[in-house]
A and B are shown apart, each in its own frame.
Chain A
Amino acid sequence: MHKGFQDKEDGLIRFIDQNRDEFDDEVPSASDIWNKIEQRIDAPKKGVLINFRPLLKYAAAAVFLMVFGAAVWILIDNRKQPVDPALSMVQKYYPDYADQVVKFTNIVEKRQEELKKIGTKAPGIYKNFTTDLDELDSVNSALKKDLNTYPNKEDVLIALIENLKMQADVLNQQLHIIRNLKKDSHEIH
């Protein structure tokens, strides 16, 4: 289990291994820790996040991703521009993830552009999609802050990429809905 130090026969290490559970018996003295945690994790329910429809929760992350992806793209294209330290860190330490973010951001952008063109023919539903997305702008800064502060950045990046893929799928569905509406409309008339 322990790689690197050749001290399995060390009496101290062996004793700790054999009595491991007894070292994990610390109990916090404050009895209200869970209450404090609960208050903090319940808070978003009263705010914007939990009120979103499932589709929009993905979209919230996806909107952030577009901004994030575009920023990574700018970082790659123009290194002389001042950059967000978090994005600089991603490009430096997680280049593979940065490449994937750029790749899926491009797909999302193309689909958004297409949706925008088709959307002019079905302005009502298109407005619904975009109005909902506009409401999520405030969430972006919170998500970006998380990338700056959350220690396990790799986990966050993996989730971001997954969400970006999801957003591409969501846009596909939106395109499908609008195309079907157009088709039905032609058939009726």
Chain B
Amino acid sequence: MNSKLIVTDPLIELCKEGDTKAFHQLYLQYSKRVYSTIVRIAGNRTDAEDLLQETFVDAFKYIKTYNYQSHFSYWIKRIAINNSITHLRKKREWVEFDNEHHDQGDEVVNTEQLQTYKVEIIKEAIKQIPLIYSTVFTLYVFEGYDQEEIAEILDISHNTVRTRYARAKEKIRTLINQMNCYA
């Protein structure tokens, strides 16, 4: 059994007792980060607002199951990610490619040149690439999941994760180049 000392958060403990004022504080503390994650995955703000609502309702409902094994932001973002992916699948926006070739994988030619990066341009580029790529990219780069975890979350193979990640980067770079040209 894991006997490490667990340091509890008084705010979370109040939420576990059903204190909605404490939960409002938690919402104020985490909603921006959770919403940003949802926007990156869901790809549109209207859906993202509904998903934000669902995520916090679920979090309140299940907060008693939170056991401090991971940071709270990781726990609540995992709910947000699962809700977002379920939502995309329901909306049939999740188009799987049957003919994905895995031979390129990490070996996709690195086209990184001397690029100038800007936050807004990167955000826009992520939004413009197909969801199957942007989701893998987001889960890895922004949410810190490793290949194995991404494969499990998306129910795809490791090879597919690698291929999609490489292609995501490639597509994002191409778009950044184009947007920089027109800027």
Contacts and interface: CB of A to CB of B under 8 A. Distances in A.
Interface of A: 1-7, 10-13, 15-16, 19-20, 22-30, 33-34, 36-38, 40-42, 45, 50, 146, 150-152, 155-156, 158-159
A11 B53 contact: no
A4 B65 contact: no
B65 A2 contact: no
A33 B27 CA distance: 10
B99 to A, nearest CB: 23
28 contacts: A2-B144, A4-B148, A5-B106, A5-B140, A10-B112, A11-B112, A11-B117, A12-B112, A12-B173, A16-B141, A24-B32, A24-B33, A25-B32, A25-B36, A26-B32, A26-B45, A27-B32, A28-B35, A28-B45, A30-B49, A34-B31, A37-B57, A38-B24, A41-B57, A41-B60, A155-B62, A156-B65, A159-B62
Interface in B41-64: 45, 48-49, 52-53, 56-58, 60-62, 64
A16 B40 CA distance: 14
A87 to B, nearest CB: 19
B20 A41 contact: yes
A-B pairs, 7 with minimum CB distance: A151-B82, A4-B147, A3-B146, A159-B65, A26-B36, A15-B117, A155-B65
A151 B86 contact: yes
A42 B67 CA distance: 23
Contacts of A7: 169
B133 interface: no
A11 to B, nearest CB: 6
Interface in B69-84: 78-79, 82-83
B57 to A, nearest CB: 5
Interface residues of B, number: 53
A113 B140 CA distance: 52
Contacts of B23: 41
B142 to A, nearest CB: 7
Contacts of B12: none
A22 B61 CA distance: 30
A63 B112 CA distance: 59
B57 A24 contact: no
A23 B142 contact: yes
B119 interface: yes
Contacts of B131: none
Contact of B67 (A6, A50, A158): A158
A2 to B, nearest CB: 6
A38 B20 contact: yes
Given A2-B140, A159-B64, A159-B65, A33 B52 contact: yes
Given A15-B117, A156-B65, A158-B65, A5 B147 contact: yes
Interface in B11-30: 18, 20, 23-24, 27
B101 interface: no
Interface string B118-148: 0100110000000000000000111010111
Contacts of B27: 34, 37
Nearest to A43: B57
Given A23-B123, A25-B32, A152 B67 contact: no
Given A41-B23, A159-B64, A152 B79 contact: yes
A174 to B, nearest CB: 23
Given A15-B117, A42-B20, A152-B78, A4 B146 contact: yes
A27 B38 CA distance: 11
